[in-house]
Amino acid sequence: MVNLVVVTVATKETDGFRRFLRSAKHFNYTVKVLGRGEKWRGGNYMSAPGGGQKVRLLKTALEEIKNEDEVILFIDSYDVVFASGPKELLKKFQQSRHKVVFSSETLIWPDRHLEDKHPHVREGNRFLGSGGFIGYVPKVREMVSGWTGEDGDSDQLFFTKIYIDPEKRKSINITLDSKCRLFQNLHGALDEVVLKFEDSRVRARNVLYDTLPVIVHGNGPTKLQMNYLGNYIPNTWTFETGCTVCHEDLRPLTTLKSEYPLVVIGIFIQQPTPFVTVFFERLLKLQYPKNRLKLFIYNQEVHHERQVSAFLQDHGSLYQDVKLIGPEEEMDGPASRNLGFDMCRKDKDCDYFFSVDIEVVLKNENTLKILVEQNLPVVAPMITRPGRLWSNFWGALSADGYYARSEDYVDIVQGHREGVWNVPYVSNVYLVKASLLRSELTEYELFNSNILDPDMAYCHNIRSKEIFMYVTNMHSFGRILSTENYQTNHLHNDLWQIFENPLDWEERYIHENYTHIMKDKLIETPCPDVYWFPVFSEVACNHLVEEMENYGKWSGGGNMDKRIQGGYENVPTIDIHMNQVNYDKEWRKFLLEYIAPITEKMFPGYYTTCSTPLNFVVRYKPDEQPLLVPHHDASTFTINIALNSKGVDYQGGGCRFLRYNCSVKAPRKGWALMHPGRLTHYHEGLPTTAGVRYIAVSFVDP
């Protein structure tokens, strides 16, 4: 059996290098690493020729190898993965019937003038790629013996000149792997390479030559495509096993003998945003010791100062430290994010920076724990916008650095593929290791750019340092709010979010038992054909009352009423109509979503369109209007929702249905009474004897 040694050069341990070693270990390759601890002087050959340092190191290493039968695979490592094992590699090498086989490329680099000197091939790529070659030790030694160049000289040009010299090519017995049976260089060949899933492993398949390369190399500007392929090859994620590496290198917090890592949470408020109070409620519920958390809050919006100061006043002392940058400091977004990073960078106790935009809805209370345990340089929890394919990561980039959709993007967003994914862009919420901020990311202005948004500038800077960014969808984390059409001219602006952010509106304003109404038979029948069920949360009731009192233009309670058609009210109340506070559209949506389904269950065969001439909030006071005389409603059915609590906010009150001599005397806050409006359910409002009683009323389908 021929002895194979993989030789590579790595002057530092990058994320790409660790990925390379993982794939080598998977197939039991023996790897010898050259240049560890040396300073890299081989240039940046993304933009200019370089790499001579690799040849120098190889030349020196070959002098120490005594076994002349040994085969050497000399390969780059930062942007390379193995797709198969040594047995297949050696077999394909021996089938080539040459002593040295180089990888091939479709593009010539770095000297186009040498194109004509390359031998023609019957089929396949014609040009040499120096990122990978395999050969017997004596021949490789002979090949590099003539190296006298500088570290910054081009290794590719050196090997190309040997290859295009007919005598040297013949004496060393060199050929190219023209059809990519051993090596697949991606540059110039992206359209040729697809993923091939089979039997719990993944290969790259070259569809042009119908070959399965053993080694895949993201040379030149194809690093991101290499990252994409590396999410699968050789067995990182398969259809049979799912993610095989997601539980490797974890840092379980439960096994820590010391305290939890210290995290600085950066909270960024950059535009008027709904449900800010809820954001802070969720922040409080994060399952992480508060004495191991510091807060950095940047608020650009005067509109949100009330919510921020209320949170800090009530709960700020729970945290180890709090720094607040308010609107008066007039700091822009990029500057605030740079400052947040720097606060962690300079704090010797800071282990992680957790960046969260205010529009992020973190439903999972263990989010921070999960991210810390992943033990990754930069990792984001995947969040999405409900019902849309929008998320906080990009699977690929376009040529000009903007969004492009990767093949697997939809599957990841919809949860059909679960894992921890290496991606080119994350935003809105992510965790960064502080050690990274103190080493690779020491540059202060990471978020600044003349042409890119702050998040794009930041991701660009991370990619340029060859640091991997990940997004995990192994758990359900939450979603992101829409900030479009957010009005700020009301007291409780979140009430108006039923269209823009319906899920968040429901969680905030619909009674927690509403979803159990049908299932658990929560609908009560206190009187014939009168249905009683929970619909509004405590917060919804409070907000509606406060909104109406803030508006303050209560009607006089007289019969003449310009607000209604005809101008005459038969049984007037002291009230404010929903349309007076521009809430008619939203209220009708509420009726359609939450009342109509119950109507159709309770009154079989009747389907409502929820057309409503009148939706209003009524106020009853002993010295103003304590009761309502017997009457019919101008509706097919009526909804009457109690907005405050008997015995707490008022005494007396309730509703009596005269035909049945049946009363509901203790309305429950947030519960709705639903009853027919005309003909059968003649009713009266019972006297409120103390305090103030509020109800929301709708006459549905007049």
For range 472-492, the mean pLDDT? 95
Whether residue 257 is contained in a domain is answered as: no
Q: How far apart are CA 394 and CA 377, in angstroms?
A: 18
Q: How many domains does the chain have?
A: 3
Both 390 and 464 in one domain: the answer is yes
Q: How far apart are CA 147 and CA 226, in angstroms?
A: 30
Whether residue 243 is contained in a domain is answered as: no
CB 449 within 8 A of CB 337: no
CB 260 within 8 A of CB 350: no
Tell me: pLDDT of 616 over 60.
Answer: yes
> What is the set of active-site residues?
693
Give, as one character, the DSSP assignment of residue 167.
Answer: H
Give, as one character, the DSSP assignment of residue 471.
Answer: E
- Per-residue pLDDT of 29-43, as tens digits, reads 999 999 998 999 988
Both tokens of residue 123?
A: 């089929």
For range 577-589, the mean pLDDT? 96
Tell me: pLDDT of 60 over 90.
Answer: yes
CB 329 within 8 A of CB 323: no
Q: How far apart are CA 641 and CA 542, in angstroms?
A: 12
Both 475 and 507 in one domain: the answer is no
Residue 14's pLDDT band (cuts 50, 70, 90) = very high
Predicted model pTM:
0.94
Residue 568's pLDDT band (cuts 50, 70, 90) = low
Both 212 and 279 in one domain: the answer is no
- Per-residue pLDDT of 406-446, as tens digits, reads 999 999 999 999 999 999 999 999 999 999 999 999 999 99
Both 438 and 472 in one domain: the answer is yes
CB 354 within 8 A of CB 431: yes
CB 225 within 8 A of CB 190: yes
Both 502 and 458 in one domain: the answer is no
Whether residue 660 is contained in a domain is answered as: yes
Both 417 and 548 in one domain: the answer is no
Torsion over CA: 513, 514, 516, 520 (sign): positive
Both tokens of residue 640?
A: 């009457």
Both 188 and 271 in one domain: the answer is no
Whether residue 233 is contained in a domain is answered as: no
What pLDDT is recorded for position 408? 97
Both 211 and 315 in one domain: the answer is no
Tell me: pLDDT of 48 over 90.
Answer: no
For range 341-349, the mean pLDDT? 97
For range 132-151, the mean pLDDT? 96
Whether residue 226 is contained in a domain is answered as: no
Give SS3 for 21. Answer: helix
User: Could you tell me which of 175, 177, 168 has the C-alpha nearest to residue 142?
Assistant: 168
Whether residue 201 is contained in a domain is answered as: yes
Q: What are phi and psi of 684, to 5 degrees?
A: -135, 155
Residue 702 CB coordination number (10 Å): 14
Tell me: pLDDT of 612 over 80.
Answer: no
Residue 367 CB coordination number (10 Å): 25
| Cα three-residue angle 696-699-702, rounded to 5 degrees | 170
For range 158-181, the mean pLDDT? 97
Q: Which amino acid is at 617?
A: V
Tell me: pLDDT of 634 over 60.
Answer: yes
Q: How far apart are CA 308 and CA 324, in angstroms?
A: 9
Q: How far apart are CA 531 and CA 361, in angstroms?
A: 35
Cis? peptide before 702, omega within 30° of 0: no
What pLDDT is recorded for position 46? 60
Under 8 Å CB-to-CB from 222, ≥6 apart: which residues?
79, 186, 187, 190
Domain boundary among 220, 253, 275: 220
What pLDDT is recorded for position 678? 85
Give, as one character, the DSSP assignment of residue 119.
Answer: P
Both 473 and 504 in one domain: the answer is no
3-state secondary structure 683-696: EEECCEEEECEEEE
Both 205 and 282 in one domain: the answer is no
Torsion over CA: 591, 597, 600, 601 (sign): negative
Residue 47's pLDDT band (cuts 50, 70, 90) = low
Rg value, the chain, Cα: 35
- Which CATH number goes with the domain that contains 671? 2.60.120.620
Whether residue 488 is contained in a domain is answered as: no
Cross-strand partners of 618:
575, 695
Whether residue 256 is contained in a domain is answered as: no
Q: How far apart are CA 644 and CA 187, in angstroms?
A: 68
What pLDDT is recorded for position 651? 97
| Cα three-residue angle 121-122-128, rounded to 5 degrees | 25
In this structure, which long-range contacts are made by residues 551-554, counting pairs with CB atoms below 8 Å and at least 24 apart in sequence? Answer: 551/576, 551/580, 551/581, 553/580, 554/619
Under 8 Å CB-to-CB from 15, ≥6 apart: which residues?
377, 466, 467, 468
- Which CATH number goes with the domain that contains 193? 3.90.550.10
What pLDDT is recorded for position 611? 84
What is the rounded average pLDDT for all residues in the chain? 95
CB 377 within 8 A of CB 433: yes
Both 553 and 468 in one domain: the answer is no
Both 295 and 168 in one domain: the answer is no
Under 8 Å CB-to-CB from 247, ≥6 apart: which residues?
none
Domain boundary among 189, 220, 251: 220
Q: Which amino acid is at 387?
A: G
Tell me: pLDDT of 563 over 90.
Answer: no
Q: Which domain holds residue 281?
A: 263-479
Residue 517's pLDDT band (cuts 50, 70, 90) = very high
Give, as one character, the DSSP assignment of residue 474.
Answer: S
Domain boundary among 479, 503, 521: 479
Q: How far apart are CA 303 and CA 272, in angstroms?
A: 7
For range 228-244, the mean pLDDT? 96
What pLDDT is recorded for position 320? 97
Render the burial of 191-230: b for 16+ CB within 10 Å, e for the rest. ebbeebeeeebbbbbbebbebbbbbbbbbbebbbbbbbbb
For range 654-659, the mean pLDDT? 94
For range 462-482, the mean pLDDT? 97
